[in-house]
Amino acid sequence: MTSAESPISRVVVLDQHLPEPLPVQHVEVRRITIEPHTALGAHVHNGPVFGNIVSGKAVYQQAADGEVQILHPGDVFYEPAVDRISRFDTEDEGVTFLAYFPLTAGQDATLDLI
């Protein structure tokens, strides 16, 4: 069977290199829902976070002077460890996304507002 005849399609939607090796012990996956008109505000995570928008949309901005993106269903995003995320907000509709937290042994995923 050729690739043109295959019923399976595989497309890389994000290939994110981490700034340093991470001895991952487990990956925690969370389904997170944020209601409409919610401004999460600037925050940091203690480890990298990968996400996939399931429904709704979010206003996403990494650095305060970074590009503002509108994330829609199917979009993926990456939040680097300990880097400030300026915005992950909702407007007229909320958002539901899956967040993937690669964690080292004994590490709990955290989000700190700044």
Nearby residues of 83 by Cβ (< 8 Å), 6 or more positions away: 44, 62, 63
What stretch of H or E contains 53?
strand 49-56
Instruction: Kindly give the pairing relationship between strand 76-79 and strand 111-113.
Output: unpaired
* pLDDT score recorded for residue 3: 61
Quickly state the pLDDT bin for 107 (edges 50, 70, 90): very high
Residues belonging to the chain: 114
**Domains, the chain, ordered by start:** 29-104 (2.60.120.10)
Tokens of 61: 């901005």
Q: What is the pLDDT of residues 8-56, one digit of tens each?
A: 999 999 999 999 999 999 999 999 999 999 999 899 999 999 999 999 9
* pLDDT score recorded for residue 5: 83
* pLDDT score recorded for residue 1: 55
